[in-house]
């Protein structure tokens, strides 16, 4: 069985977050959805648990950061093409995301990002494996 990943993110308004990510084309597993949390399906092995802030807090004694002011991680997902990267970021911006930086084109890799409604940093990337430079020791 392939390893699965469940990224857990605190959100202030679960309904608004579901609405936002639905506009990006994601679906949710109703089996793991209630008024405190939902399971967003990215792929067969990648899921994002959107948890209300009070519910998220039950899993840690640490302070939950304000992702509009601080960053703890970047959620980076692959795309099939540069156009697919741009389309996803365009849809996100239309749905209310903030675009912190312009797209970056490294030739072999193209990336663009947005901050969701809660400030979490999402990045979409397309990479041409044939164009990846060899590692220099």
What are 63's two structure tokens? 């302070």
**How many domains is the chain partitioned into structurally?**
2
- Helices 82-94 and 14-23 pack at an angle, to 10 degrees, of 140
Domain-terminating residue out of 33, 61, 89:
61
Same domain assignment for residues 88 and 53: no
DSSP 8-state code for residue 20 = H
Spatial CB neighbours of 77, under 8 Å, sequence gap ≥ 6? 42, 46, 122, 123, 124, 125
Same domain assignment for residues 82 and 121: yes
Alpha carbons 86 and 56: distance in angstroms, whole number: 31
Alpha carbons 48 and 51: distance in angstroms, whole number: 9
Helix residue ranges, H only, 39-106:
53-57, 82-94
Alpha carbons 19 and 95: distance in angstroms, whole number: 9
User: When comparing pLDDT for 130 and 93, which is higher?
Assistant: 93
Mean pLDDT computed over every residue of the chain: 94
Determine the pLDDT at residue 131. Answer: 73
Domain-terminating residue out of 61, 86, 101:
61
List pLDDT tens digits, range 55-94.
999 999 999 999 999 998 999 999 999 999 999 999 999 9
Same domain assignment for residues 55 and 69: no
Is 0.85 surpassed by the pTM of this model? Answer: yes
Mean pLDDT calculated for residue range 97-118: 96
Mean pLDDT calculated for residue range 123-132: 87
Mean pLDDT calculated for residue range 40-59: 97
- Other CB atoms within a 10 A radius of the CB of residue 65 amount to 12
Owning domain of residue 89:
65-137
CATH of the domain at 78: 3.10.180.10
Determine the pLDDT at residue 129. Answer: 77
Alpha carbons 92 and 114: distance in angstroms, whole number: 7
Domain-terminating residue out of 61, 77, 101:
61
Determine the pLDDT at residue 128. Answer: 87
Q: How confident is the model at residue 99 (pLDDT cuts 50, 70, 90)?
A: very high
């Amino acid at each position: 069985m392939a390893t699965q990943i469940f990224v857990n993110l605190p959100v202030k308004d679960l309904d608004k977050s579901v609405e936002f990510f639905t506009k990006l084309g994601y679906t949710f597993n109703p089996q793991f959805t209630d008024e405190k949390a939902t399971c967003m399906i990215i792929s067969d092995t990648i899921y994002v648990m959107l948890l209300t802030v009070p519910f998220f807090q039950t899993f840690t004694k640490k302070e939950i950061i304000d992702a509009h002011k601080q960053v703890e991680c970047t959620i980076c997902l692959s795309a099939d093409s540069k156009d697919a990267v741009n389309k996803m970021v365009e849809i996100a911006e239309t749905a209310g995301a903030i675009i912190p930086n312009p797209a970056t084109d490294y030739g072999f890799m193209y990336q663009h990002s947005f901050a969701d409604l809660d400030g979490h940093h999402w990045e979409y990337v397309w990479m041409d494996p044939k164009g990846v430079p060899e590692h220099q020791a």
